[in-house]
Structure 1
Amino acid sequence: MSQDMLTTQLATDPARTREPLVFGGLTEAEGWALAPITPRDRVHFRTDRELPLTDFRAALPAEVEVTYDEGDGLYRVDGETGTAESLAGLIRAWCAAGGYATVGLRPETGVRRRAPRDLPAAFLDGLCRHYCRVSLKRLQRNMSTIRLHLPDNDDVDQQVAEWVLKAVSQYDETKSVPFGAFLATQLSKWVHDLGRNAYGRTAADTENKQQKAVAAFTAEHQRRPSEKELAAYMGQSVATLRRNSQTVATLNGLRNLQSLDGGADTVEFVVPDSAEVPDEIMGEAEQSLLSHALTAACAPDPTARRDQRAAQPNVLGWATWYLTTWGGQTKTQLSADLGTSVRNMNVHADRAEKALKERLTELGG
């Protein structure tokens, strides 16, 4: 059969022709046409604490749109093309006047987006319901990773719904790619972003690159690479590889907090007699007790169900408490280093604080 005949048969074969999906009485193509994706300028930034959004919006031009990603702690200010730099200047000035520190403020031009609310409500509702079900099925292969960060079923459903809406805002119907195919390519990237948000962007990306390089070298040579070989394979110096390996080792150690948790009632602490030792030694002993209590407070709760958040190690809470208490870093600095928001850090730190208070009560009792 010639290529032309095969093409004609595929085009006319009723078994291969799929009817367009209809949501709210509109086909997908008709729905996208009612709210086409448009170019705009955007300013991204985070802050050391939440902004009063009503006051912030009032300080910006009327045609500007402000959105806030609560989970990521990321503010987005969208304006007309050509206004990115002027918007960035306004934002810097307003935040400085109010005493808000900005983190990673970046103007971006030519961003193509749509506001999901511009789509007909019935169309958007039907589309989201359909693609949330499709996404949950597709993500079954990634569910073990997702469960590390979202142990509750309701949290998983909510996150998938947010991802579908995010895809709706980014989908460019002019590129002749079906929305379902576009969503599928984005989902795997967004699953990886869960780890970046929880463990820090730099650490998670470093670990991912090293794992890929080791896997590629092993497949090519049928053995694991030496340190020197891995450095050459990744185009790095041995010193850089060692530094990055330490970052990865630290990340893996934080993930395995459960193995460090002996519990306050099962560990014997040898505390010197305060009458016979200098004050600084007693201070070090107290810091050791606090450090262990913090680690224990952030470890998984063995009595919790596997689908509960308490059953997972609170890595970000541990890092926030430890590095701001003993590491000499501010939350703003740590937020920039880890690539996550101060708000996200505070949520995890509050969980750690609640458990830590219970541990300190046990130690003092």
Structure 2
Amino acid sequence: MNHSTLPTEPSIRRAPLVFGGIPEAEGWALAPITPRDRVHFRVDHELPLEEFRSELPDRVTVSYDQGEGLYRVDGACGSAQMLADWVRAWCAGRGCTTVGLRAETDVRRRTPRDLPPAFLDDLCRHYLPLSLKRLQRNMSTIRLHLPDPDDLTQQVSEWILKAVSQYDEGKGVPFGAFLATQLSKWVHDLGRNAHGRTAADTENKQQKAIAAFVAEHQRRPSEKELAAFMGQSVATLRRNSQTVATLNGLRNLQSLDGGPEATEILLPDTHEAPDEIMGEAEQTLLSHALTAACAPDPTARRDQRAGQPNVLGWATWYLTMWGGRTKTQLSAELNTSVRNMNVHADRVERSLKLRLVELAD
């Protein structure tokens, strides 16, 4: 048989996506990804962004991630150190303290607003429902941090814009595939940002190991089996499990996430109660004051750091005061820096001082 006479199957080709009247590939070319130097930093209180932006050196831009409380200053390649020094000096001149300032060189990014507005608008409208569908598998995790559907839609929209800024069309991967891989990573970061890194990272590793063991043996592992499966000692597994349990419990503390001020504490009569009971009552008041000091600030927006429960600050104070831990030990157990713990603990201290004065009165 002459194979050359056999009909060939038509190749399946997807029509190129068009956004705002512009084919997707052409749209990316209109605002190509470019290298730059970048300075990342946070501050102890929010900057006057418009004033900050107006005083930046020529051809230097700034963006502000409200969800993470993170500022990003971008300039030409080779300017990282100069920008870092300029940011420190500007903030110091206005009584602001920078936190975690880091200079990074040769960062490849695109500025979304450089794309044609109609192209960007159509692209976001197209990928928003697809992203929400892709995230259904992660919804139990997402609801811990974004219980309001409107907040979820806003967060996913921000993630799409973040993917637009990072997408490198020159690598040959479609934008949709790149976005899908990044979404899973950013969902994981929700937990890391809220609880220091241990509750997210350690819990994720343990759950993956348990799932793999169950798939292989059709039963849950014992403590000793799980430790061996993860290549850890039983003592290490127990310590990590305790950390996960502690921070998971903190996620569900109604007094942190709800209204600690609405909780009424009944005190015994000082003339009738023995000293031991009064000691316990005073400790209860102190514990309540600490928890209230870590609750969200009702005057702050929910997308600001002050508008979120200060879980890491609570853990730092509680475990060093009553848990017998040092900050160095906690730093290793929570897989975060002592400096990061101090930032969150300082926020607690400022609020707690006011509450302790009220208690003394």
Shared fold per TM-score greater than 0.5: yes
The number of residue pairs the alignment matches comes to 328
Aligned equivalents of 1:323 and 1:340: distance in 2? 7
Aligned to 2:22: 26
Maintained 8 Å contact 1:46/1:341: no
Aligned to 1:271: 268
Aligned to 1:106: 102
Aligned equivalents of 2:179 and 2:5: distance in 1? 33
Q: State the superposition RMSD in angstroms.
A: 4.5
Aligned to 1:282: 278
CA shift, 1:155, in A, is 1.3
1:165 aligns with 2:166: no
1:287-314 per-position Cα deviation (integer Å, ceiling 9, x unaligned): 3145358769999xxxxxxxxx9xxxx9
Aligned equivalents of 1:338 and 1:200: distance in 2? 12
CA gap of 1:244–1:96, structure 2 versus 1, over 3 A, is farther
1:195 aligns with 2:188: no
Aligned amino acid, residue 286 of structure 1: E
CA shift, 1:326, in A, is 8.7
Aligned sequence identity (%): 69
Maintained 8 Å contact 2:41/2:70: yes
SS of 1:316's equivalent in the other structure is coil
CA gap of 1:95–1:144, structure 2 versus 1, over 3 A, is same
Maintained 8 Å contact 1:217/1:225: yes
Aligned to 1:94: 90
CA shift, 1:54, in A, is 3.5
Alignment of 1:134-145 (within 5 A): 134-145=130-141
CA gap of 1:61–1:218, structure 2 versus 1, over 3 A, is same
CA shift, 1:5, in A, is 12
CA shift, 1:145, in A, is 2.4
Aligned to 1:253: 249
1:6-56 per-position Cα deviation (integer Å, ceiling 9, x unaligned): 9x74xx43xx22111111110000100100111111111212211222343
Aligned equivalents of 1:290 and 1:17: distance in 2? 67
1:80 aligns with 2:73: no
1:109-161 per-position Cα deviation (integer Å, ceiling 9, x unaligned): 22111000000011111111111121122222222322222222221211111
Aligned equivalents of 1:78 and 1:341: distance in 2? 28
Maintained 8 Å contact 1:45/1:104: yes
TM-score of the pair, normalised by structure 1: 0.72
Aligned to 1:146: 142
Could you say which structure has the greater relative contact order, defined with CA pairs below 8 angstroms and 6 or more residues apart? 1
Aligned equivalents of 2:292 and 2:30: distance in 1? 54
Which structure 1 residue ranges, 5 or more long, are not aligned? Answer: 300-308, 351-355, 361-365
Aligned equivalents of 2:291 and 2:82: distance in 1? 46
Aligned equivalents of 2:198 and 2:338: distance in 1? 7
Aligned amino acid, residue 105 of structure 1: L
